[in-house]
Structure 1
Amino acid sequence: MNEAQQERASIDAQALAELAGKTMYERDPATRHLGIALAAIGPGYARMTMTVRPEMLNGHQSCHGGYIFLLADSAFAFACNSHNAVTVGAGCSIDYVAPGRLGDLLEAEGVEQVVAGKTGVYDITVRNQHGQIIALFRGKSHRVAGLVAAL
């Protein structure tokens, strides 16, 4: 593949990721209900943001881990579906390393590490607005039949 063909393939992959992301976001009431925004998407990549609101706090006045997990899981879902093949989570783990606080803007950045056959591995890093790591999430995906967005 020459340089021009590589550039066209990259542009097409980006457009496909954007279409898949837009379609998924429209079909994802849980993500929208929590005010999670899709900030960026690309092939094997997604970045999502969420502001910590009062109802998201736990008894220690820090962001409940379930909300942090949901933000990371959404970034995982959008990253692994960015190739427009319907892909589901097969397993994941999360490590909480610092608390999220009221008013924090949390950002989850999901990056594809490897896809082999129908299985993929994705790392999601959740940071606050100061760049401090809040949580590290690793997800394993499984591709199933179908397309996210009709072409």
Structure 2
Amino acid sequence: MKAGDTAAGEMDAGEIARMCAEAIWADDAASRNLGMQLISVEPGRAIVAMTVTDTMVNGHSVCHGGYIFTLADSAMAFASNTRNRPALAQHCSITFLSPGKRGDRLVAKAAERQLAGRSGLYDVTVTRDDGAVIAEFRGHTRIVEGILLPDPKA
């Protein structure tokens, strides 16, 4: 077998990532109730989208930053939980660059920058559908005990 090949009955890393995302999504009432959509997931990466609703707009008629942060945090959660090892946010920061407005579809693209031992570093860019950058988010994660999938080969 060559590097990257899988033996019969074994799943590849992409399949494991998708199964982990499905397991997390099933219990993620916060993301689902905000109308988020999981667009794609692969090892160390995820794309999550959300449309700004009337209830997400603040007194300045723009999307409240907490909702944008939550979208970015959810994208990081899916990206950091792709290897059947549960990871939680440890520290996050966000820089808001442009406002999201009522009706905007926001897309958060999370990418793993470093995974060393139990510590991960992720960058998330939040854009509007037209490509305008709304925010840049950086998050640190910590892998905790346990597994997401009881038997990833099942």
> Which bracket does the TM-score occupy, shorter chain normalised?
over 0.9
Q: Percent identity?
A: 43
Q: Distance in 1 between matches of 2:19 and 2:52?
A: 28
Aligned length: 148
**5+ residue gaps, structure 2:** none
Shift of 1:7: 4.5
Matched, 1:150 2:147: no
Question: Which residue in the other structure is 1:97 paired with?
Answer: 97
Structure with bigger helix share is 1
What TM-score do you get using the length of structure 2 for normalisation? Answer: 0.92
Structure with bigger strand share is 1
Shift of 1:142: 0.5
Matched, 1:61 2:54: no
Question: Which residue in the other structure is 1:6 paired with?
Answer: 4
Per-residue CA distance 1:16-71 (angstroms, 9 max, x = gap):
00000000000110010000010000000110000000110011100000000000
Shift of 1:118: 0.5
Q: How does 1:2-151 map to 2 (within 5 A)?
A: 2=2, 5-8=3-6, 12-151=12-151
Q: Distance in 2 between matches of 1:135 and 1:7?
A: 38
Q: Distance in 1 between matches of 2:47 and 2:150?
A: 23
Shift of 1:149: 2.0
The secondary structure found in structure 2 opposite 1:73 is: helix
Read off the aligned partner of 1:6 and give its amino acid letter. G
Stretches of 4+ moved more than 3 A in 1?
none
Shift of 1:8: 3.6
Q: Distance in 2 between matches of 1:90 and 1:21?
A: 20
Shift of 1:84: 1.3
Read off the aligned partner of 1:113 and give its amino acid letter. R
**5+ residue gaps, structure 1:** none
